[in-house]
Structure 1
Amino acid sequence: MTKTPGRGGSRQLAVRVKTAKKRTVSSKLWLERQLNDPYVAEAKRQGYRSRAAFKLIEIDDKYHLLQPGKRVVDLGAAPGGWSQVAAKRVGSLEGRGRVVALDINAFENLPGVTSIILDFLDRTAPDAIIDALGGEADVVMSDMAAPATGHAKTDHLKVMALCEAALDFAYEVLAPGGVFLAKVFQGGTEHELLAGMKRAFKTVRHVKPKASRPESAELYVLATGFRGRAS
């Protein structure tokens, strides 16, 4: 189990950021939040590319999705924090499991991870993933989120559209018994989408790791026990 921040140790003093000439109030607040976020500091200390790594660590510590030897797909993987966690846990660093990171934007390669720079909506993407994995996936995971507009309803719809597209992709590449994990927003998964997931998977639940910022509306939908494409 990887140690997560916020448990013991000395308390850091809050950092205040002055408003620079070309810095907006929103960028000032974002920078201030980053500088005062213990998960950001711990990610740097442990060598993770993003604080998001701790969200996956918490979820996996509880539900044991990333078992040694598993084949994992990380959709919208850049900058690679989730892929790093997956590579360690499935053993791809030692040549056991496999991790494929898919993103439309280029990012630095990671040990134990096969990177594919491609839009997951491209019709060639499922075959490219299966080829890279050497078979169907055991886990399809997505921490993707569209750029926030600040309008809660709009942001919810955009994230749900990404989740639905990621789920359609998962149906193409998942092996029976497989797992799907994706970001949604508070308000949960849309009824129709959730009903479809319950038909296709044995168990569907919502989870919110402690590493998600308290003010954030994000949570995750976790579906386990894929019944196969016939479902």
Structure 2
Amino acid sequence: MIDKSSASLTEVLSKIKDGSTIMIGGFGTAGQPTELIDGLIELGKKELVIINNNAGNGDYGLAKLIKADAVRKIICSFPRQSDSYIFDEAYRAGKIELELVPQGNLACRIQAAGMGLGPIYTPTGFGTLLAEGKPTLNYEGKDYVLENPLRADFALIKAQQGDRWGNLVYRKAARNFGPIMAMAADCTIAQVSEVVELGALDPEHIITPGIFVQHVVAVKSAQ
């Protein structure tokens, strides 16, 4: 019997090793798997490479992970906003490395990895500092720069509901990067507000099928 659900957040997260590359879902705080992030902190994980849309807000979730000196490098689109003071302090102190990726490129690079593609050509970033040292191509009169797929050892994502097979449905915009991150990671851990019986999820509403999910953890505070 396939059963990917787990009652122990700590047991599931213990599979993550120091130095792992981890995709973390969320657009700011929307869809951010906060309880999974707190679990990483409690386990004392270090030297992590994080792939996320931004670099944390306030002292919550991802920002809290950076504050705990758990992150060696972050790959993201928006490292700075009005409440990114924890990342700002860490970056200025030389405690964290940043790889800046335009948001469209971030999504496409994750998708490329999930679809089993190699490097992709994109016009975004051509002629800027982000393209330095990268191969370029002129195709039908338009310039492109080559970008590598983004893969990860783990993806930590948040969904509204899941079943024991790992099928997931999301809550509105909290979906954001979750589906493509699940496809691009070797191991996907999803926190959900509820684990439902098989057949309870409308097949037409399942965004992430269980083939891309290895663990489902019910967290009461998840939305």
Under a length normalisation based on structure 2, what TM-score does the superposition of the two structures give? 0.40
Q: Whose strand fraction is larger, Structure 1's or Structure 2's?
A: 2
Q: Which has the higher helix share?
A: 1
Name the structure, 1 or 2, with higher relative contact order (CA <8 Å, separation 6+): 2
